[in-house]
Structure 1
Amino acid sequence: MLTDFVIQFFSEQPRRERAVFGLLTGKQTISILYAALIHQQLQWLHLYPSLSKEAFSAAITTLKVQRMLRETETGLILTEKGQHLKQAAVTQLPFPTHYQPWMNLPVFAPRFFLGVQVLSEASYANRAYQPISVNWATQQVVKQWYQQVDHRAAVITLSSLFQRLPTELADTLAANMIGHDYAGQLMPATLEAHFERLDALAALVQQLANTRSMWTALWGGPRDFVSRPAQQTLAQARAGMALPTIANRSHRKQSTINEHLLLAAIMGETLPIEHLVPLKIHRALDRVTQIYDHQALLAAIPGSTFFQIRLFQILSFQGRWPRVTT
């Protein structure tokens, strides 16, 4: 089953297995995020954070041995045999349709199911039970939430949220709940069941993001993938501060400042391009027709830097590169 999942991240375009693993487990290096962007897979960031390196590597090895994947100098590509398996895998193991990385589901899931359990047991005045999450931080968040909400209103609100979910998703969530004299499954037994639960949780979070109910407080809000230091760097750059000055004031390397801005660009933030890319280089980039090979671009545009080229590539791929109009 894991091979059916893994093969869906490969195509006829070379893809490095390390970049795929980093994407799925939520590793946010610029190289991993950029690779996900150009392969149109950024929406699957942090999709499977519990995936082990050993299991992933074993799946890759199996696909190579079965000649589903072939290794090239720049990464793994699908063979003709692998293309057929991928087509079948898409049907056999569909990805969650409601999932978005900002939903922060790995954090929300244990809070939600523990919150349901606490409310259920409290309704029967039962204090002698084993909490389904032993994580201290999760327990503290749920405890604080429980002390602040009206318990009856919380149950009524959750019922209302469930009624607005598609029936199959509501049933999936209910089957995963644990409460007083009700023991659903603590962990999904298969990868397919795991993604079904993830899809149901994602659909619930979509409602929480739009309704601002008391359960929204338990969720905690969307995850911001642009770190606070990166946000500070972006704000300073927008204010016209030179990048070396930003680096000196923040006691960071210039390369770190560059990574902050590239991260912001990948995540859709607006950058002051006229401040970051000199006009001569900007005009030269406007004439570029091939955007993927950064080494060729560096060689073709004298005086350009890797940062400027990568920024151009990101924004061009997103359709956001601003051409010079004068």
Structure 2
Amino acid sequence: MTQRFELNYINYLFSQETAVSIRQLELIAEGKRTPSTLFTAEKNQLQSLFLSPLSLSTAQWTDRMYKLSALGWLSEKEGRYQATTKGQQAKQAFISEYTMLDCRLDMSSALTRKEFWHSFIFVSQILSEFSYGNKEYMPYISNRISQNRIKKWLAEQGFPQRSLSVKWSEEIKVFLETLPDVYPSFMVDQMIGHNYEGMTKRQTAQKYDMTPLEVLITTEILMARLYQSLDESVLLKSLWESVHKSCHYGLSASAYRSLTLLMNGSTIHKTAALRKVKENTIKEHVLEAVLMSRYEGYESLIPGRVRDRLKELFKNNPSLTYAQAQQEIQQLEFFWYRLIEIERIRGFL
């Protein structure tokens, strides 16, 4: 599994819809929340790359693209890389070998998955130490704000501490039983509890014959799988929701503040005035919310006649450009065009 894992994983991210430059790959992997980067990820089906453990410099991305092209898995045209038939065949072989890839990663939970993993380990540590009556231990999370958030969450659950410990372990057990092969022990080996220090990423990689990157990606996929099974878990679901809220539901802090005002009935103009920013900034926040968290409250921000005409134009011409749309609709804002274009990409028209 370790041999060429990184190249296989990058190739796995490419689909028939993907045609991107090295710089675009780099920005998506870094988790840039600009509308242009988020739209590129959406259009090219690269949501799994967003805020990725795959942290590469421009030179390293260039090297990986060269190697994938040399293998015949990707082709390059005018600085943009696309999947080849051979590459898609290699992708299917990789998916067959690395069965965890049946779980796609979405952008809105990218930060939540990372934060939830640490919260998950910390809660397990706290409850394990409590079970043995030990209050003197080194907390897994050292950040005071994060510690207080977790302690507050524990106090809000409404269970006596002993019952809370039992319920927590039962829910973890149920989830672990849904996992294939070595993955239950992969998770347990990294957990921390009374008189037990979980394995480091390096130790985990050595034990399971993985690269450090594979450990990180596997952990992310496990958290995504956990999220998809939360309806059957009271405590795990509650913790996820708490962490997701602390991560502003996937949005930047600024976009979250703008969306809160808009969802409470404020207009773009009023929101910009209240926040003392430009109206274009608020529009960018709306686009961020639509692309990151599939915010659906944007239709009222587009004049009805413009919305209907844009939908008609896109139905007749899926490749409609902004310049072409401008010829049909006077004083057309790019903001309106982009919102309906996103609908087209998602197959909503």
Deviations 1:27-58 (A, max 9, x none): 2221122222223343x36462x432336554
Structure 2 residue aligned with 1:110: 118
CA distance in 2, matches of 1:277, 1:3: 46
Please state whether the residue corresponding to 1:165 is helix, strand or coil: helix
Instruction: State yes or no: 1:254 paired with 2:264.
Output: no
Please state whether the residue corresponding to 1:164 is helix, strand or coil: helix
CA distance in 2, matches of 1:280, 1:231: 23
Question: Could you tell me which amino acid in structure 2 is paired with residue 109 of structure 1?
Answer: W
Please state whether the residue corresponding to 1:182 is helix, strand or coil: coil
CA distance in 1, matches of 2:30, 2:80: 19
Cα distance change of structure 1 residues 3 and 145 upon mapping to structure 2, 3 Å threshold = same
1:20-39 → structure 2 map (5 Å cutoff): 20-39=25-44
CA distance in 1, matches of 2:81, 2:21: 6
Please state whether the residue corresponding to 2:75 is helix, strand or coil: strand
Structure 1 residue aligned with 2:321: 294
Cα distance change of structure 1 residues 95 and 297 upon mapping to structure 2, 3 Å threshold = farther
Please say if residues 125 and 194 of structure 2, whose CA atoms lie closer than 8 Å, have aligned partners that are also in contact: yes
Please state whether the residue corresponding to 2:258 is helix, strand or coil: helix
Structure 1 residue aligned with 2:90: 85
Structure 2 residue aligned with 1:317: 345
Gaps of 5+ in 2: none
1:109-188 → structure 2 map (5 Å cutoff): 109-126=117-134, 129-145=137-153, 150-167=160-177, 168=179, 170-187=184-201, 188=204
Residue from 189, 213, 233 that aligns with 2:235: 213
Please say if residues 294 and 306 of structure 1, whose CA atoms lie closer than 8 Å, have aligned partners that are also in contact: no
| Cα displacement (A) at 1:275 | 5.2
Which moved further from structure 2: 309-318 or 112-121?
A: 112-121
Cα distance change of structure 1 residues 265 and 195 upon mapping to structure 2, 3 Å threshold = closer
| Cα displacement (A) at 1:133 | 3.7
Structure 1 residue aligned with 2:103: 97
Structure having greater relative contact order (Cα 8 Å, sep ≥ 6): 2
Structure 1 residue aligned with 2:216: 194
Which moved further from structure 2: 143-152 or 296-305?
A: 143-152
| Cα displacement (A) at 1:298 | 3.7
CA distance in 1, matches of 2:300, 2:222: 44
Please state whether the residue corresponding to 2:199 is helix, strand or coil: coil
Cα distance change of structure 1 residues 250 and 150 upon mapping to structure 2, 3 Å threshold = same
Structure 1 residue aligned with 2:7: 3
Say how many residue pairs are matched.
Answer: 316
Which moved further from structure 2: 72-81 or 253-262?
A: 72-81
Provide TM-score, normalisation by structure 2: 0.73
Deviations 1:171-230 (A, max 9, x none): 432222122343442324134443443333334444556543388348615352353233
Please say if residues 35 and 287 of structure 2, whose CA atoms lie closer than 8 Å, have aligned partners that are also in contact: yes
CA distance in 1, matches of 2:258, 2:318: 25
CA distance in 1, matches of 2:148, 2:216: 26
Please state whether the residue corresponding to 2:81 is helix, strand or coil: strand
| Cα displacement (A) at 1:259 | 1.4
Residue from 15, 30, 34 that aligns with 2:20: 15
Question: Could you tell me which amino acid in structure 2 is paired with residue 107 of structure 1?
Answer: E
Cα distance change of structure 1 residues 310 and 69 upon mapping to structure 2, 3 Å threshold = same
Please state whether the residue corresponding to 1:292 is helix, strand or coil: coil
Across the aligned residues of Structure 1 and Structure 2, the Cα RMSD in angstroms comes to: 3.5
CA distance in 2, matches of 1:278, 1:74: 39
Identity of aligned pairs, percent?
23
CA distance in 2, matches of 1:215, 1:79: 40
Cα distance change of structure 1 residues 309 and 318 upon mapping to structure 2, 3 Å threshold = same
Please say if residues 234 and 264 of structure 1, whose CA atoms lie closer than 8 Å, have aligned partners that are also in contact: no
Please state whether the residue corresponding to 1:77 is helix, strand or coil: strand
Please say if residues 26 and 46 of structure 1, whose CA atoms lie closer than 8 Å, have aligned partners that are also in contact: yes
Please say if residues 116 and 179 of structure 1, whose CA atoms lie closer than 8 Å, have aligned partners that are also in contact: yes
Please say if residues 233 and 260 of structure 1, whose CA atoms lie closer than 8 Å, have aligned partners that are also in contact: no
Deviations 1:143-186 (A, max 9, x none): 55567764322220122203322523544322221223434423
Question: Could you tell me which amino acid in structure 2 is paired with residue 119 of structure 1?
Answer: L
CA distance in 2, matches of 1:214, 1:285: 41
Structure 2 residue aligned with 1:59: 64
Provide TM-score, normalisation by structure 1: 0.78
CA distance in 2, matches of 1:90, 1:282: 41
Cα distance change of structure 1 residues 179 and 249 upon mapping to structure 2, 3 Å threshold = closer
Cα distance change of structure 1 residues 291 and 6 upon mapping to structure 2, 3 Å threshold = same
Cα distance change of structure 1 residues 205 and 158 upon mapping to structure 2, 3 Å threshold = farther
Please say if residues 262 and 271 of structure 2, whose CA atoms lie closer than 8 Å, have aligned partners that are also in contact: no
Please say if residues 75 and 82 of structure 2, whose CA atoms lie closer than 8 Å, have aligned partners that are also in contact: yes
